[in-house]
């Protein structure tokens, strides 16, 4: 299905069910995702028609600067799992802080979180910053 056909189809859907603006936006996002996949598939399809395909055993060995590889994946020391834990904490903070940021100042109706909301978030940020300082002092942020 081409993006054009898809848009026709979604237009019909929009008129028959009277979709709100909200859903229209997210259908647009979905159409975009499909369009990207169609682009990738089309270009690879065109490539398949043009490119040669000469099977030779050596081609299918991993490139390791000339020497034959020993094993495929190897082991790697993942040193950053504590960073990953910290990341989760601060990422959740991001999720909480965005709605707060939208509602802090007064909107067109003059309603906002005001000083109370500000103090609440200052406490929240201070606790998180304290956590970061603790991790720092404990030497967790040292790459060793």
**Window 97-136: residues binding another protein (CB under 8 A):** 97-98, 101-105, 107, 114-115, 117-118, 121-122, 125, 128-129, 132, 136
User: Site mask, another protein, residues 37-76, x = CB under 8 A?
Assistant: x-xx--xx-xxx-xxxxx----xxxxxxx---x--xxx-x
Name residues whose C-beta falls within 8 Å of residue 96's C-beta, 6 or more positions apart in sequence: 124
User: Applying CB under 8 A, does 1 fall inside the site for another protein?
Assistant: no
User: Applying CB under 8 A, does 36 fall inside the site for another protein?
Assistant: yes
Q: What is the CA radius of gyration of the chain?
A: 27
- Other Cβ atoms within 10 Å of 93 Cβ, number: 15
User: Applying CB under 8 A, does 28 fall inside the site for another protein?
Assistant: yes
How near is the Cβ of 99 to another protein at its closest, in Å? Answer: 9
Q: Exposed, middle or buried, 19 (CB in 10 Å: 0-12/13-18/19+)? A: middle
């Amino acid at each position: 299905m081409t993006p054009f056909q898809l848009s026709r189809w979604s237009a019909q859907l929009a008129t028959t069910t009277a979709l709100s603006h909200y859903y229209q936006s997210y259908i647009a996002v979905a159409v975009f995702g499909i369009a990207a996949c169609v682009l990738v598939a089309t270009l690879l399809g065109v490539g398949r028609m043009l490119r040669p395909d000469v099977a030779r055993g050596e081609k299918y060995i991993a490139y390791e600067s000339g020497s034959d590889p020993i094993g495929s994946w190897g082991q790697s020391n993942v040193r950053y799992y504590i960073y990953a834990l910290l990341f989760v904490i601060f990422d959740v903070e991001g999720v909480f802080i965005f709605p707060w940021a939208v509602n802090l100042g007064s909107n067109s109706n003059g309603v906002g979180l005001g000083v109370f909301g500000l103090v609440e978030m200052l406490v929240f940020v201070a606790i998180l910053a304290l956590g970061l300082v603790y991790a720092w002092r404990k030497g967790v942020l040292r790459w060793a």
